[in-house]
Amino acid sequence: MDFYLSTLIQGLCLSAIALGIFISMKIFNIPDITTDGSYTLGGVVTAKLLVLHQPVFVVLPVVIAAGALAGTATGLIHTKLKINALLAGILVMTALYSVNLEIMGRSNIPLGNFPSIFNIVNFSSDPDRNTFWIVSIFAVVTTLIIGYLLKTDFGIAMRATGNSESMVRALGVDTDRMKIIGLALANALTALTGYLVTENQNYADISMGIGIVITGLGAVIIAETFINWFRTTSVWFSLILVLSGAIIFKFVIALILSLGIDPTLLKLVTAVFVLLIVSLPRLSFKSSS
Amino acid sequence: MIRVSDVHKIFNRGKANEVNALDGIDLEIKDGEFLVIVGSNGSGKTTLLNLVAGSFLPTSGTIEIDGNDVTKLPDYHRSEWIARVFQNPLSGTAPDLSILDNFRLAAIRTKRKGFSIGISDSFKKNVKAKIASLGMGLENKIEQPMGTLSGGQRQALTLLMSVMDTCKVLLLDEPTAALDPRSANIVMQTADKLIKEFGLTAILVTHNLKDAFVYGNRIIQMVGGKITKDVDEKNKSVLKQNDLFDWFA
């Protein structure tokens, strides 16, 4: 497959997880590690349901609900048991490993012969282009839904929760409930990426989620750099930048790998790249001040 | 009307650092009363305010607002009656959200935060007109993040936000403590104006004895978690500023 097209497809698959991390990390200020588990959960549920010959309109809602459930668990542990959000996420992620294994019954499920969403719906005779159009539609629709949500009164309350908790409570918002809903939403989006990636790569694997939170984070940090650069407060523009962040991130990683770096070093390269984009703005600040 | 009956608040009960913050408070605040609370640090005045707001619950005793027992009600349910201005200008507003978003949230303080877009052109116009009434020239900056404003501007807007939705009780927790004298003056005058205009029941906690003297129609002093002085409207009007200083002598 064409290098650019396949990278673009992978980037678009990541748009949902990037939106999810944007919600948990930037809007709610919660570093949510559940992501690694809920991404795999999304993939695992997809594979299991496809093996059971379930149609798309069953698979997709179940995947989203499963992700939301994982996020709800983290949210409940964090808010009701007053446990540090990072720890709450790690706990749920760890537990999900067993859940995922239990669902699959083994460590991976290949989906070679099962009909995927990419060959049910046909926009183009070229399968790669077809895949591109389908993941694009997913990316656009999720962005539209999240964008609309953030513009509503409920969305303003969401955005304010991570920004000034004392204010939001004084204005009649149950911040615990809001955080639980936010984490559920973030992980539902994460599971959606798990669904798309599993459909795209044609298998689900127990270790597919390792380090995925870093990928999502990388996309969001790239987006944030642009958001600060443009000094935008527009919800729509921010979300478009998050989407671009996911695609840029995938392209940089793909370019690095195409230089001939051993694919076993993929996670190391990813981590170093995220470290770079996190630290570069700070380093340049230091030298200028 | 707010009725606080035999309220005790003990922090860290049974531990070495146990604090008896409120020691049997009985207080009735009538509708439209503007109560000023003065007292040294640790006298319990902010604790009392937070108990009325519902930030935390009393160890014993009851709190009523408008005849409703709210003793066990969390703060986000009491927002049906109460609007607040915090000591820290950052606490009362969301800095990364636009002024408009902040006002939208304030305008639905007592209502459901639903899944429809509430910011319309008429809403924008309404907010602009309200902000223009402050005379600070902020009405053309409503799309800007709240965080770009100064502390004084943010406190003034927080006050305005409190009357965007129906409001019975306004709680002011040292609203000018972090402000320069000029901003402090504007904020207190705005508060006084809104309290009179909307007939609010208000509680002001302050260390500024001049404000305590100028504003409000009732003043109490707290010492060690108890109310030691209670001066009603008639007597406050003949009270001299020096008398207040003598309270702390």
Q: What is the structure's pLDDT at B174? A: 94
Collapsing DSSP to helix, strand or coil, B244 comes out as helix
Give the model's confidence band at A289: pLDDT under 50 very low, under 70 low, under 90 confident, else very high: very low
The DSSP call for residue B98 is B
**B171-210 burial code (b ≥16 CB/10 A, e <16):** bbbbbbebbeeebbebbbebbbebbeeeebbbbbbbebbe
Rounded Cα distance, A91 and A101, in Å: 16
Judge: A164–B145 Cβ closer than 8 Å, yes or no. no
Q: Are B166 and B110 in contact (CB under 8 A)?
A: yes
How many Cβ atoms are within 10 Å of A235's Cβ, its own excluded?
18
Name which of B80, B84, B114 is nearest A153 (Cβ-Cβ).
B114
Between residues A1 and B92, which one has the greater pLDDT? Answer: B92
Q: For residue A154, what is the nearest residue in chain B, using CA coordinates? A: B113
Tell me the C-alpha to C-alpha distance, in Å, between residue A16 and each of A128, A161, A186, A243, B81: 20, 22, 9, 8, 40
Of B92, B91, B66, B93, the residue nearest B80 (C-alpha): B66
Q: What is the structure's pLDDT at A123? A: 87
Q: Are A175 and A169 in contact (CB under 8 A)?
A: yes
Tell me the C-alpha to C-alpha distance, in Å, between residue B4 and each of B45, B46, B68: 13, 14, 12
Give the model's confidence band at A51: pLDDT under 50 very low, under 70 low, under 90 confident, else very high: very high
Q: What is the structure's pLDDT at B185? A: 93
- Residues linked to residue B83 through DSSP beta bridges, in sequence order: B170
Residue-wise pLDDT for A72-95, tens only, equals 999 999 999 999 999 999 999 999
Residue-wise pLDDT for A111-135, tens only, equals 988 888 888 888 888 888 999 999 9
A171 contacts chain B (CB < 8 A) = yes
Residues of B in contact with A157 (CB under 8 A): 105, 113
Find how far residue B89's CA is from the centre of its chain.
12
Amino acid at A159: R
Query: Does A15 score more than 60 pLDDT?
Result: yes
Residue-wise pLDDT for A225-241, tens only, equals 888 888 887 899 999 99
Query: Which segments within chain A are labelled E, that is strand?
Result: 108-110, 203-205
Q: Which structure tokens are listed for B29?
A: 């605040």
Q: For residue B166, what is the nearest residue in chain A, using CA coordinates? A: A171
- Pick from B55, B78, B96, B143 the residue to mutate for testing the A interface (most A CBs within 10 Å): B96
Q: Which structure tokens are listed for A282?
A: 């700070």
Name which of B53, B92, B113 is nearest A157 (Cβ-Cβ).
B113
SS3 content of chain A, % helix, strand, coil (to 5): 80, 0, 20
- Pick from B52, B105, B141 the residue to mutate for testing the A interface (most A CBs within 10 Å): B105
Tokens 């705005």 correspond to B190
Amino acid at A88: A
For residue A151, give every residue at least 6 positions away whose Cβ sits within 8 Å of its Cβ, in sequence order, or none.
Answer: A235, B117, B119
Query: Per-residue pLDDT averaged across A186-202, rounded?
Result: 96
Mean pLDDT per 10-residue run, chain B (249 residues)? 95 91 95 95 94 95 95 94 93 93 96 94 95 91 93 94 94 93 93 95 95 94 94 89 88
Rounded Cα distance, A176 and A13, in Å: 30
Query: Does A285 score more than 80 pLDDT?
Result: no
A87 contacts chain B (CB < 8 A) = no
CA distance A173 to chain B (A): 5
Residue-wise pLDDT for A149-165, tens only, equals 999 999 999 999 999 99
Judge: B92–A167 Cβ closer than 8 Å, yes or no. yes
